[in-house]
């Protein structure tokens, strides 16, 4: 009924708008146990979203909760909607399976055909992956990164991103993690005061190239921040997001700004050295082994201050001004 209520609200507010929807881990009962086979929930949700889906999309959605369509019905542009809940480490139904619902094989085929047809692709999903599936997803992105222009995920309830790199260290992709409308205060072990303000995200993109040009996040009380303004980059391309990550890693001022944005300005405490390592390593290393190695190294340099220090030295004595 919750999915039905939200679907009805979206249809009322955006009656003539094409909507691409991905399932979350709480869209099923028991939670997170989404199956790799047809089931009653997939059938019912497919009926609810029928006006948003092509007939071919309904077939694969019923099979495993995933589908692909032309983006806004335009030739040369494609949307790939994944059911990443099949790869959740808390999903006991798919534990030990090599390719639940054959989604990886299907996605590889779709992206291969997209390259052949010179299509540009956006990917939508919900959550992160079990370590084994995580490796497969990284390989999928590295293989097809030339046609993938954006990845849009959620689940964490926080404002963040994850970088994908080629074998030579060049940035090839970004997964944007959007904050949540739900001001959920986590009860996860090891997390202290983890919460977020309600937030809604708008992506601005070039309609011809699909380049993500900017990210605007609105949050209560009716405030917003713009990625390009906040981090002084020209767009939200992988190269720009890599530049943002470098600034967050090496400049305390940008680190603190990113940390406050992460909770949608709920947590305004200082992000210390350990905090910085946690956030930078999470964004930089999507591979679990490399992430753990990054945490161990803790090699990031500090900026002395986020104040601008202007030093004027005269012949007699130095004067230091703060602004």
The encoded tokens of residue 161 equal: 């991103």
| pLDDT of amino acid 314 | 34
CATH number, domain 2-235 = 3.60.21.10
| pLDDT of amino acid 174 | 93
| pLDDT of amino acid 64 | 92
| pLDDT of amino acid 195 | 60
| pLDDT of amino acid 30 | 81
Domain edges within the chain: 2-235
What residue ranges of the chain have pLDDT lower than 70? 25-26, 155-157, 180-196, 222, 298-323
Three-state helix/strand/coil letters over the chain: CHHHHHHHHHHHHCCCCCCCCCCCCCCCCCCCCCCCCCCHHHHHHHHHCHHHCCHHHHHHHHHHCCEEEEHHHCCCEEEEECCHHHHCCCCCCCCCCCCHHHHHHHHHHHHHHHHHCCCEEEEECCCCCCHHHHHHHHHHHHHHCCCEEEEEECCCCCCEEEEEECCCCCEEEEEEECCCCCCCCCCCCCCCCCCCCCEEEEEEECCCCCCEEEEEEEECCCEEEEHHHHHCCCCCCHHHHHHHHHHHHHCHHHHHHHHHHHCCCCCCCCCCHHHHHHHHHHHHCCCHHHHHHHHHHCCCCCCCCCCCEEEEECCCCEEEEEC
| pLDDT of amino acid 113 | 98
Sign for the CA dihedral angle at 128, 132, 138, 139 comes to negative
């Amino acid at each position: 009924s919750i999915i039905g209520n939200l679907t009805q609200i979206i249809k009322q507010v955006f009656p003539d708008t094409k909507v691409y929807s991905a399932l979350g881990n709480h869209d099923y009962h028991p939670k997170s146990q989404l199956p790799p086979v047809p089931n009653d929930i997939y059938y019912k949700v497919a009926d609810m979203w029928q006006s948003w889906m092509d007939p071919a999309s309904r077939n694969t959605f019923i099979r495993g909760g995933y589908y692909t369509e032309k983006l806004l019905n335009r030739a040369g542009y494609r949307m790939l909607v994944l059911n990443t809940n099949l790869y959740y480490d808390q999903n006991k139904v798919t534990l030990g399976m090599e390719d639940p619902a054959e989604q990886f094989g299907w996605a590889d085929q779709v992206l291969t055909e997209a390259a052949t047809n010179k299509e540009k692709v956006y990917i939508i999903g919900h959550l992160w992956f079990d370590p084994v599936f995580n490796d497969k997803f990284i390989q999928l992105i590295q293989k097809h990164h030339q046609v993938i222009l954006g990845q849009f995920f959620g689940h964490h309830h926080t404002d963040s991103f994850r970088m994908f790199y080629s074998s030579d260290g060049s940035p090839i992709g970004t997964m944007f993690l959007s904050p949540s409308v739900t001001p959920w205060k986590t009860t996860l072990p090891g997390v202290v005061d983890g919460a977020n303000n309600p937030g809604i995200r708008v992506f601005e993109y070039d309609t011809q190239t699909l380049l993500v040009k900017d990210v605007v996040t609105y949050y209560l009380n009716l405030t917003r921040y713009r990625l390009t303004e906040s981090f002084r980059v020209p767009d939200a391309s992988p190269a720009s997001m890599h530049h943002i990550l470098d600034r967050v890693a090496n400049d305390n001022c940008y680190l603190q700004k990113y940390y406050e944005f992460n909770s949608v300005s709920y947590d305004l405490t200082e992000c210390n050295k350990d905090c910085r390592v946690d956030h930078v390593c999470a964004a930089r290393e999507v591979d679990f082994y490399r992430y753990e190695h990054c945490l161990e190294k803790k090699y990031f340099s500090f900026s002395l201050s986020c104040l601008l220090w202007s030093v004027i030295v005269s012949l007699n004595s130095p004067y230091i001004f703060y602004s």
